[in-house]
Structure formats: structure tokens, C-alpha cells
Amino acid sequence: MKLLVTGGAGYIGSHAVQRLVRDGHEVTVVDSLVTGHRAAVDPSATLHELDLRDTPALTELMLATQPDAVLHFAALSIVGESVQQPLRYWDNNVGGAISLLSAMAAGGVERLIFSSTCSTYGEPERMPIREDAPQAPINTYGRTKLAVEGLIQDHAAARPGFSYAMLRYFNVAGCDRSGRLGEDHRPETHLVPIVLQAAAGLRDGVAIFGTDYDTPDGTCVRDYLHVDDLVAAHVCALERLRPGRGDALNLGVGRGYSVRELLAVAKRVTGVDFPVTEAPRRSGDVPVLYADPSRALVRLGWAPECSDLETILSSAWRWHQAHPEGYA
């Protein structure tokens, strides 16, 4: 297939592009490179440095490349920053999605995979989280993603042949197991790379924010999914798109690991006893978040294969050791 991937120079998008190219697809990448990395884009893909909100340029590209489907990863995604800069997030995430759907409509492209998030659920009362749980996001990032979900559903309702899958991520972690791709955010806010930077001596240590939660060891519990497993789910979703049908699916492993559990595995994998300090809770942190992935398992025929903590951390550790300064 001919595929257009937005945000294909980012962490998850670049992993998806590599897999799609490997599977024999013709891939066009659209990325502004504001947060993405040119070096992360598979050399067999064609990169267009383009702001998604530039609807005329995006429409021209859509007409020129005539993709069979779009995989939409592009978004600003730092939760704290979204609260501090809400207008920027609404403009980029929702404005970019409006522009993308407009360009797709002009180009007659009727298939979409959307990178959504468990942040749309806010603070769920029940675990594990099912797709029918109330969606009540508690931050701007989550609200923009939920708005885009609604936008896609409205667009599909007006176009009977349109098909889509909205994939709600939990905690994506790890690096490409072949070693070519990694995780490099500026600034880095994700726990796994922060922990590994501490192990590599690039940070003074790791802080645990909150040790008095109602969890087995007092620290937050999260559902970690290896990025390779996440990409595999996208491939399955793409293959199962059917005209006039849409779906929303949680992608996770169906169990949670605490911060202390992750730190213990990280020390074992790296062989480094890096410093760990305890700090007060952060506003907005939910004690426990993990998915019920049963719908994805049934409808996609997909299941995680490499999402144990040891594989997640060892794959990331190999890349961070080889790239101590990231893609720079």
C-alpha cells in the first residue's frame, strides 16, 4: 500500500515507519521536525518537512502521493506543558487534525489510524479500563485528543465510506530491538529514558513523585507496552479497516507495574545502582492506570509479545548506551 504517516520522525511514528517499510509499503512521512528527528526516519521513506496545519501544502501532497491510508501520530504530548500552553496544544493537535482530514477529503483518502491516548479517560473509578469507561480528561492534552476523536467520528458520519481506528495508548516504552531507533525527547519527561539517563550518569538520579498512594508499595502503577508491540497493533488495525466502519481500542498489557518495580528491574538490567530520592506527589497523577486490552486482542488478533519490563528496559538501555546524546 501507499501510506502517509504524520509525525513519522517522532518516537512512535519512526518505529511505525520502519515496520511499514520493512513490510513492503511505500511510505511518505510528514513531520515539522519541531520535536521529531530527521535521523529517525527510515531512509527508504520519503520525508516532507511540513506543518500539518498548512492545509494547501498538505492537500497538494495528498493529491500527489494518493495514499491508500493515513497513520496520524503527529501531536504535542507533554501533559504539564499542555496545561501551561493550552492554546498551543489546541491549535496544533486539533487544528492539525482538522487540516489533515480536510486534505484527506480533498484527496479522496478514506482510511485513518489515529494515535490517541488513555488520557482521555481522566481518573477512572474502575480498573482495568475498558473502552466504554467514561471519558473525562483532566488536562489539556487529553482534552485535545478526545476532541480529535469526536472530530474523526463526525467526519466519518458525513462520509459513509470512511473507516478509522482510534488506538488509545497507555505507557509506551522501550526501543526498536534491532537497535536503530530510540526515544529522544527534548525535554525528556518519560520515566524509562529518565531512569536510563540516570544509570548512564547523565542525571544525578531519579525522583519518585509520591510514595503514599493506595498501591502495594505506595508508588504509582502503570501499564507499560513495548513500542514494537504497539506498532504491531497498528499494522493489525490497518489490515482490518473496512469501509464505513470505525473502532476505538485500548492498547496495553492488562496489568500494571509500580515505579519501584520498574526501578528495581532497571538496576538489574543496567547493573547500576543509581540514586533514587522520594519527592511529594505531583498534581494530576493518578494512582493506578492499566488497560483492559481484550477488545484489541479479539478484534485485531493481536497480543503483546515483548512487553515484559526486562525486554522494554534492556532494548532501551542498548540504544541509550549507543546514543548517549540521542539523535544529536
Residues marked active site are found at 141
Spatial separation of the C-alpha atoms in residues 328 and 318, rounded to whole Å: 17
Spatial separation of the C-alpha atoms in residues 149 and 85, rounded to whole Å: 21
Spatial separation of the C-alpha atoms in residues 267 and 195, rounded to whole Å: 9
Helix (H) / strand (E) element for 74: namely: none
Q: What DSSP line would sit under 39-56, residue for residue? A: GGS-TTSEEEE--TT-HH
Q: What DSSP line would sit under 229-244, residue for residue? A: HHHHHHHHHHHT--TT
Could you count the other beta carbons within 10 Å of the beta carbon of residue 242? Answer: 10
Could you count the other beta carbons within 10 Å of the beta carbon of residue 324? Answer: 11
- Look at residues 179, 169, 158, 167 and name the one whose alpha carbon lies nearest to residue 40: 179
- Look at residues 129, 119, 19, 123 and name the one whose alpha carbon lies nearest to residue 76: 119
Which residues are within 8 A (CB) of 152 and not within 5 positions of it... i.e. 6 or more apart? 97, 101, 112, 114, 164, 166, 246
CA atoms within 13 A on the CB side of 163: 13
**Which amino acid is present at 59?**
T
What does each C-alpha distance from 312 to 141, 171, 224, 286 come to in angstroms? 25, 11, 8, 22
